[in-house]
Each structure stands twice: as structure tokens, then as C-alpha cells.
Structure 1
Amino acid sequence: MAEAVTAGATRLLPGLPDEIVVWEILVRLPPKSVLRCRPVCRAWRRVTSTRDFLLAHHGMQPSLPVVYGYEKADTNYRNILAIDHRSTDTQVQHVARFDIDKLICVEASCDGLLVISMVWTSRRFSVCNPVTRQHALLPHPPDFSLFSVFGMYLHHPSGEYRLLLYRRSNGVSYVGYLLPDGKVGCYALALGSSQPPRYIGGPEPASELQFYTPVLVRDSLHWSKGIHSRLVVVFDTTAESFREMRVPTVPANSSLVQMDGTLGMCSCNDTMKVVDIWVLKDYQGEIWEHKYRIKLPVEEIRVQFGRWEDYWCVAVDSLDGDFLLLLSSDEWLFYVDSDGKLVDSSHCGGQELSACGIRLKQTLVPHTFFTALQDYAVNASPFI
């Protein structure tokens, strides 16, 4: 890390050692604040642009739940918002604004990168960094409607960021020249590579697959296999292999979450008034523990805000051994703690909010694969 601080006649801040300024102050700033401080002087730009600094800075950033914000007054835009209840400034952070004339949807997230799908006359996938506003299209077969994005991951042995794709049909299509065998199953696509997606198989039977947003724990992606299944599909991102894991018997309305570095499961009852939380106490032994049964503060929300919905988007934000439930509906976000107490609320007037299950850990780390992709651009469409 010492390479980020070079000897000079003038200190970065008078009265403080440069090591303190860089590794105790600047490294803890939000990404947008780092970008704003770079024009102060050449020394500040230099120390905040080294790879050591950028990696350390990324490591300091929280992993935040992402919420869609649909603007009611102007339906041509979609906002991507991050929820940070620890922030003393604002809880709802504006991450990106997209032109939704192209029907944009966030498909996956990894290390501050977002994979989005866009629909023009046909479906296209692209990758972007909302902090640096870099964007590029991904290579694709002519008929990508046969494919779904199951997740995105860093393949540590190669250093490549890869997409895990699933081809869900073996019917006639136009993909034959890229996938000559037309196999149903999972494919890996390395970002920036000129090679077509590589077939890696997948769990069987394929007809039962119903993957949702994955949870990354121990360098493996985890999905609930289906709404009636007691199995979790696990994808080892190093070996690029699949296995299955048992989960507790829970109602159909459940989802996987990360709970301070381990796997958790959140389940709502049919009336959306009770939430149960399980935690994987022993990962290797696949032993789950029922940790919480939370009765949501229905009457308090109804009396205080004059509303209670029959359906809420429920997300879990893990907070250093504790957590908050995030309930989103219409223009409102409500924060409920593990005791079922309403601890806070946010109102985003003019925007309809919806939690999407994606988490974002923002980054300023540069990625070389961007320039190898089609239509690479900065500060251009679909960003607004």
C-alpha cells in the first residue's frame, strides 16, 4: 500500500501524515466523494488512482440492497437506488438513471458491476459500472431469448469476470453457429473474451430449474431451486461445478439472503404479516437454525402512514450481527428490526419502489475488459 503515498515536499493535508490521510480518511470516502476530491491537486489525484488504493477503497464499501425506482411523472426513466441505513446523510442513494424506452432490467451484480438486459427489437445484455458510468454491450448469439442470466462471478484462477448463462430450450434457433450442439444447460461467458459461451453442464433435471437472484457465500453462488423444493443449488465459482444443499421446510414465499458472511433464508407467511429467518449455522454440515420470527408492525404502519399493502417486496440488510427488514411498496420504504419494531421510513415521492434482490458494492477499480467489448462508452446511453 505504500506505493500510494510518495515522498513530496508538501503534505496532502497540513498537520497530518500522508499515510493517515490516505489510509484512514480518503479510503473511507464514498466513491463519488473520491471522484470529487481528485481535482483538488495532482497529489490527491495520484494517491487516489493507484490500484492499491482503489482495491482497499472498494473493500471499505458496504454491500447495499438495490431498489428500482419507477418515476410516475415520466415513464421514460428508471432509477437504480441503493439503500444505506447506516448513512447519516441520506438513506436512499441515487446509483444510476437509465432510459427505459429500452426496457432495462438489472440481471446480476458483482464487485460493483451490473449486468443489465435491454430490449429493442431483440434482447441484449450489457455490463456497466454505475460509479464510473462505463457501459458496453456483451457478445451474444442472434437469438438470446433462449438464454437467462443466472449470475455473475469473479473466476479467481483466471482473474476473469464471467456470466453464468442458462440455455433453456433445445428447439430450433439461430444459435447453431455459436453453440453447434445446442445443448440445454449452463454456459460460462468471460467478459472481454472473443470466445463464445462455454458449455459447463448444470443441475438436473433442467425442467425443475427456477433460479432467482443468487447469494454469494464462500466463493459460491447459491439459489433456491424452486418454490416447492427443499434444495439449494450451489455453484462453485472456482471449479465451475454444481452441487445441491438441503434447506429447512419453509413456505413457498421465501428467498435466500446473506447474513454476515453466511447463508440465510427469509420467508413470509401468506398474509405478509410474519417473517421467519433461518441461518445456516454449520455450512459444511448443512445445519440450519431458526433465528427469528418477526411480526411486522402492521397496525403502526397503518395508523402512522395510513397504509398497509397486501404484498410487499421484502429484503434483508445485514448489519454487523443484526439486520433490518426493508419493506418496499409504492413510494415507501419501511425499516423493521429483528424485534419487529418500525425503526425508520423513507418516502420517495413520485417514484414507485420495488426491491429486486440485487446488492451493489460500489467500486472505482478499473476493468480492462470494457474496452474489448462492443460499443464501449462512458457517460452515454443508456445512462442519463
Structure 2
Amino acid sequence: MPDRRGATLLEDLPEDIINKILVLLPSKDVGRCRVVNTSMCSATSTPEFMLQHHRRQPSLPIVDGLGRPANHVVLGDAAAGASNQQLWPFLSSSKRSIENNLAAVCDGFLIVSWENKFYICNPVTRKHALLPQPQAGQYIRNIVVGFYRHHPTGEYRVLWVSGPDYSFISNLYVVTVGSDRPQCISVRLPAEEKLWNKLPSSNSSAVHHRGSLHWHPYGTNDITGDVRDIVVFDTETESFRRMHSPTQQCRYGNLFDMEGTLALWSGLVSKSTSMDVWVMQDYEAETWAFKYRIDVSMVETSRQLYLTSLKKKKSRPLESTVQLLNDMAVLNESELLIRFNCKHVLRCGIDGKFLGIVNIGKSQYQMFLTGHRLKESIVPIPGHEMQEDEEAPFSTGHV
């Protein structure tokens, strides 16, 4: 019913209209609505609503704040053609300093390691829980190499490499979030042990695409003798296979998702003057298409022209090589962030056009490009019986 001034209240609207309004709200505002009344709390707590809300959230690159306090990092208009872009900061908690490590991301959940402990966290709901590890012992090394949703069961599962420390002998384990019983899985691949033991040292985090996890570990073509050096883990059948890279010359590579398409960032050496980007043209046939090459010398020329056009003093030239090839984030289909060194991140277009330099030597932009992306989720952590630690293992600056 309208109030005494004749205004229509939110609760006067039909239920389906209310749900359509609530699902458009940011995650923080949904949380505020839940404390208004029981009806809003119920409406926003159904699995259907939470899934629909999650699907509408933008996918933001995660940057590591390296222990410095910050809120969401927003890269403003650095030049013509560059748009405002928001990055999600992963920050260490005050007591745990910079010892935290972001191990994996899936559906708005993070897996964070600290010393010998692993946590699953939801940065939006500020909830976290201690994860059981597949093996225990003073000289046992457990490493998270994958995190995924097993669609046949709806369970969230963690893929581990586990074995004696300083040893090449290890096993693969799958642990369901909310369960303390790890499952050992078998791998049917030629040279299988050497191959999947390289996953922990992969240049990039696992890329989710078409229901599988993808890695491009360094040196896999040295083991297999061919260009099938991309490791693929089918999350439904929980089995491994190999996939072709676009070129035999891809010694250093970094897989990433470019607006729903599997892409590869490659170079011949770790420090390169140019970087090639390939996109998957046909996933089933494993065929790739060359998309573009970014030449650092062209970027430097473009930068100096941009600064001159703004009548600014000519600045010191950039390094001629990219020092950290695997430190890159995709902002959208036409913009990339590339880490040059410990002080500068280059922002450029796919045509090599200069769009700005982010000085990460400044405290407000202190960051490391993690390769992970986050879509906010208000879904609770699975498994109510999971042990919770007293102090959150990380912070996000998301207040």
C-alpha cells in the first residue's frame, strides 16, 4: 500500500519486480538489504537469486597489494581510447603481512595459503574456512594447482599436487570443499609424472575454459618432444590430456581468457622486445589464429609522441625489454596491462598504441598482477562443518 504521502514503497511492488531490482544491486547493497527485513533476506538467499546475481557481476583482474592498504584500484583515462577500469585488490592482513599467497580462484571464492595452511574465502561475505590438506607431515609439500566446480555433483573441488618435500615423487589428489576425505586420481599420459609435476611451477594460473582447466607450464615441450605442451584437466571426467600450442617457438607462454576465448601470450625468451598474442580459433580441432604482436619499441615511440602532444617534459625512456613476461592482465578485448619492472606497468592497446603508464612505485598503485580474476559472489562457502580460523588470512579493501 502507498504511504500517507501517496508514494509506493518497495514492498508494495510484485515479488518478481522486487527480485529484478535486487539482482541489479552491488553485492554490498544486497547485504544491507538482507538486514532490512526477513522477506528481503529470504528473497536474496535463494540459490537461484545468488547464481543470477553472480552472473551479472563484472570479471575484475585481481592485483596483489603487496601488504599496502588500498581500496579498489581504478585506472582512469590515461589517454584517448583508454577507459576507466577497476581492479580487485588482494591485500595481506595486518598481522600476516606479505606472507599470504593467492593460490586459486573459482566462482567468487579464493584459496589463500599462509605458511602451511590453506583457506577458502569469500571476500564479499567476509567468511573463510580452513581447508583440509590431502597429506600431513613435517616434510610433506601440498600445492594447490586447480580449483573448480564439479558440475555433475555441484561440488567445489581442489586439485592438489602432494608429496615429500624436495622430491620428484608426488601424487595428484582431489579434495571436495567441505569434506576431509581426499581422493587420489590417476593420470593417463605419456611421461605423466614429469608432465604434471611441472604444474606447480606453471608461468600462469589455471585458466577455466569450456569446463576444463588449462596450464602452459614452462618446458613441457622438452618432455613430450612436440607442441602438445598445454596441459588440460577435464573437470567433469577429472582426467588429463594435452593440447597443441599455436607454435613450436612458444617457449615462454602465458594462457589467459580473452572475453570467453582461450588466448596465449608468448615469447621466445624470458626477456623479450616483442610479444605475440594468439587466440583459439577452433577448440575441438586445436587450431589457433595469430591476433597481434606488441612491439616494445613502437610502444615507446607512441608514449613519447603522447607526452609531446600534451606539452610535457620528455621522460626517461622505458626499458627495451619486458622483464616479467608472465605478469599481465586483460582489461577488455582491446586493452592489456603488462608489467615492465618493479616500478611500472604498461597499459596499451592491441595495436601497440600507448594508453598510459601506471607507476606502481607509488603506494596508491603498489600491486602485482596475479593472473586471476574475480566475479563477486554472495554464495556461502560450502560445508557448514568446516573449521574456521579466528583471524581472516587476507583483506580485500572491500568495505
Distance 1:171 1:260, change over 3 A: closer
**Residue of structure 2 equivalent to 1:222:** 214
> Unaligned regions of 5+ residues in structure 2, if any?
1-6, 222-226, 308-314
Which deviates further from its counterpart, 158-167 or 306-315? Answer: 306-315
SS in 2 for 1:194: coil
TM-score, scaled relative to structure 1:
0.78
**Residue of structure 1 equivalent to 2:353:** 341
SS in 2 for 1:206: helix
**Is 1:49 aligned with 2:45?**
yes
SS in 2 for 1:233: strand
Aligned counterpart in structure 2 of residue 238 of structure 1, from 236, 239, 242: 236
Please give the residue correspondences for 1:241-252 in structure 2 after superposition, counting only pairs within 5 Å: 241-248=239-246, 249-252=248-251
Aligned pair count?
351
**Residue of structure 1 equivalent to 2:382:** 368
**Is 1:136 aligned with 2:136?**
no
SS in 2 for 1:366: coil
User: Structure 1 CA distance, aligned partners of 2:356 and 2:285?
Assistant: 37
Amino acid at match of 2:209: V
**Is 1:257 aligned with 2:253?**
no
**Is 1:70 aligned with 2:57?**
no
Higher relative contact order (CA 8 A, sep 6+): 2
**Residue of structure 2 equivalent to 1:60:** 56
* 1:286 Cα deviation after fit: 0.7
Amino acid at match of 2:318: W
Amino acid at match of 2:19: V
Which deviates further from its counterpart, 246-255 or 33-42? Answer: 33-42
* 1:147 Cα deviation after fit: 2.2
Distance 1:186 1:334, change over 3 A: same
User: Structure 1 CA distance, aligned partners of 2:140 and 2:334?
Assistant: 37
* 1:85 Cα deviation after fit: 8.1
Identity, % of aligned pairs?
33
* 1:103 Cα deviation after fit: 1.3
CA contact (8 A) 1:67 1:83 kept: no
CA contact (8 A) 2:122 2:380 kept: no
* 1:226 Cα deviation after fit: 2.7
Aligned counterpart in structure 1 of residue 114 of structure 2, from 118, 125, 150: 118
* 1:307 Cα deviation after fit: 6.0
* 1:98 Cα deviation after fit: 2.5
* 1:81 Cα deviation after fit: 6.2
SS in 1 for 2:334: strand
> Unaligned regions of 5+ residues in structure 1, if any?
1-8, 72-76, 173-181
User: Structure 2 CA distance, aligned partners of 1:241 and 1:85?
Assistant: 43
User: Structure 2 CA distance, aligned partners of 1:362 and 1:281?
Assistant: 29
Amino acid at match of 2:171: G
Q: CA RMSD in A?
A: 3.4
**Residue of structure 2 equivalent to 1:175:** none
Per-residue deviation, residues 296-342 of structure 1 (Å, max 9, x unmatched):
422455785646355246424263xx232112354554421211123
CA contact (8 A) 1:114 1:127 kept: yes
* 1:242 Cα deviation after fit: 0.7
Amino acid at match of 1:205: E
